[in-house]
Structure 1
Amino acid sequence: MLNLPPRLSAQLNSAQFANLHTFLVAARHLSFALAAEELCLTASAVSHRIARLERALGLRLFERLTRRLRLTAEGERMFAILQGTMEQLSEALQPSAQDTPAGPVALFARPSLAQCWLVPQLADFHQRYPDIALDLRVGNGAIDFRTQGIDLALLYADGDFPGLVSRKLMSERIAPVCSPQYAERNGLFDAPENLRHCTLLHDALAWENAQYDAEWQLWARQQGLLEQLPPRGLSFDRSDLCVTAAIHHAGVAMGRQRLVQGPLERGELIAPLGGFTQPGRHDYYLVNPPREAVPRRLQVLIDWLQAISPASAD
């Protein structure tokens, strides 16, 4: 229920509703210019609407900073109220609980996980829930759920998500992998000391703010092999590109077990230095902003992702 101050509640005419909607869009973008583009208005018109709303409320909703906006505490509260109300309205307009859940859901995933694990399984989700319009987005940058309109994120991370709701989806383990030919040529079978003659393949954006060789450093520290790591290397911004390079004999990649299972089973890759281990705390998580109630179309996506995840509880 929209819990507005008495002064505004007494004046909820069409103009004031327009001002509330304008605020909701501007708060989502944190930009009057982008809000104006979405609403087919001028930035000046958006600014005037926000000013009228602030006068009616007796509150300051935005801090006007140099070249950007920031919500005040009152603005954050108003945005949460309006966003929650709009989600409840959208849910109410969807088919009843007895019918197939429907509506848009924006899912963000890191590129390698989307390519190697998620996308090959999406046909099953669409067959089960054909009326859910899944919008899959990928990238390596920082996520802003509000301005990017993301409902749920699938991340490879250490599990620390301040202010967000997170669920561990599945664990991950890593091991050096390469083609059988590369291992044979460099004498790698159970001979980690020969890594010093190899080319290492790095996912330079393994997780947010990671160093370019973070995964190799974690593994080598656990194995007591830091001194064996060679300076030669190739860097990519995706783990699956490292794997592709390894399949084509470019070097040794740090393989994530969930992502390299297929190439291992097909014999395109091997793990010449032994099995997979978990030297760090990085696993796969589902992350979303806190909500008073999770829309049904989002809940079925969460449930489906958990159902298809191997060993999701380990």
Structure 2
Amino acid sequence: MLNLPDRLGSRLSGAQFANLHTFVAVARHLSFSQAAQELCLTASAVSHRIARLEQALALRLFERLTRRIRLTAEGERLYQVLQGLEAQLQEALQPSTEEVSGALSLYVRPSLAQHWLVPRLADFQQRYRQVSLDIRTGNEPVDFRTRPVDLALLYGHGEFPGLASQLLMDERVAPVCSPQYAERHGLIDHPGRLAQCTLLHDALAWEHAAFDAEWQRWAGEQGVQQHLPARHLTFDRSDLCSAAASHHAGVAIGRQRLVQPLLDQGALILPLGGFSQTAGQGYYLVHPPRERLPLRLRVMIGWLQVQVGDG
């Protein structure tokens, strides 16, 4: 198997480092023209730099398709190596101080950001005053090549192909609705009466999920699929489902870490019993694979783990 660091050392001269920088830009955008705009070069100049790099390494780094390009297996490996070197360089250039510093971008699902992460951020700011934290939210799949994101906090089953991931905290789910809605439909301890209800769906519960995936998973585990009605409302956030449920619009699948405050306030109840755990379901920390994470990223992961332990 090719050892990229050895190959780089034996085949590259100092003049090739500009070509490596160009390669990283092209690999990030998977576009010669977009890389050219970033580097203030012509697309022809970018193409020539890549050709010279491929010749020096005796490797083909990109596959040229009809209207796009993609990395070859060796190109992907080189890109991962250079990303790791870039992170190490950024850490090495930090001021020599015990205080962690630098910019850090965290991508989070909107519901979790609003109801779990944001209320805790003051503690992070007090502990790490020299870290500039940028929180971005969204439901679309995160592309670490094209978005300036260091770490993502995602809900799902832990399947993130090509990325490193670790479970931060698990999640338990159960149907929730307002007390008034449960009484109106005689729903307490009667799952068969779901057929008379409106179901509230988070249509983007996790990547590639069907619009009713959470309800189908819960109903399958409980053996009550036959009672699920066709009548529904869909949202793109779990907390909007819970908010609609608290205002008598229907029954939602509540995630305990998000809906517990509404349960404590009495705005929601658990009409069909307590929360249940689905194997592997939870919130995962996701990032590109690296041999060693930058210090600021290791600090953020450690802090998030402490927050889970603190409840």
Other-structure match for 1:200: 199
What is the Cα deviation at residue 149 of structure 1? 3.5
AA in 1 matched with 2:72: T
Render the CA deviation track for 1:217-267: whole Å, top value 9, x for unaligned: 222222222222111111112111111211221111110001111211222
Q: Give structure 1 regions of 4+ aligned residues with deviation exceeding 4 angstroms.
A: none
Question: How do residues 151-230 of structure 1 correspond to structure 2 at under 5 angstroms?
Answer: 151-230=150-229
- Give SS of 1:53's match: helix
For residues 12 and 197 of structure 2, the distance between their equivalents in structure 1, rounded to whole angstroms, comes to 69
Question: How do residues 13-92 of structure 1 correspond to structure 2 at under 5 angstroms?
Answer: 13=15, 16-92=16-92
What is the Cα deviation at residue 2 of structure 1? 6.0
Share of identical aligned residues, percent?
65
For the aligned residue pairs, the C-alpha RMSD in angstroms reads 2.1
Question: How do residues 92-103 of structure 1 correspond to structure 2 at under 5 angstroms?
Answer: 92-96=92-96, 98-103=97-102
Other-structure match for 2:10: 6
What is the Cα deviation at residue 165 of structure 1? 2.3
CA contact (8 A) 1:157 1:285 kept: yes
Report how many residues are paired. 307
Render the CA deviation track for 1:188-238: whole Å, top value 9, x for unaligned: 222222222111101112112222111112222222222221111111121
Question: How do residues 270-289 of structure 1 correspond to structure 2 at under 5 angstroms?
Answer: 270-279=269-278, 281-289=280-288
Give the alignment's TM-score, normalised by structure 2: 0.91
Give the alignment's TM-score, normalised by structure 1: 0.90
For residues 34 and 305 of structure 2, the distance between their equivalents in structure 1, rounded to whole angstroms, comes to 36
Query: Bigger CA drift: 238-247 or 187-196?
Result: 187-196
Render the CA deviation track for 1:270-299: whole Å, top value 9, x for unaligned: 112211112453111112222111111000
Gaps of 5+ in 1: none
Render the CA deviation track for 1:58-102: whole Å, top value 9, x for unaligned: 322211112221112332232223222221111011133x42111
Render the CA deviation track for 1:80-125: whole Å, top value 9, x for unaligned: 23222221111011133x4211112222222222222112212221
For residues 300 and 44 of structure 2, the distance between their equivalents in structure 1, rounded to whole angstroms, comes to 40
Question: How do residues 211-250 of structure 1 correspond to structure 2 at under 5 angstroms?
Answer: 211-250=210-249
Other-structure match for 1:111: 110
Other-structure match for 2:300: 301
Q: Does 1:142 find its partner at 2:145?
A: no
Gaps of 5+ in 2: none
CA contact (8 A) 1:8 1:57 kept: yes
For residues 193 and 71 of structure 1, the distance between their equivalents in structure 2, rounded to whole angstroms, comes to 52
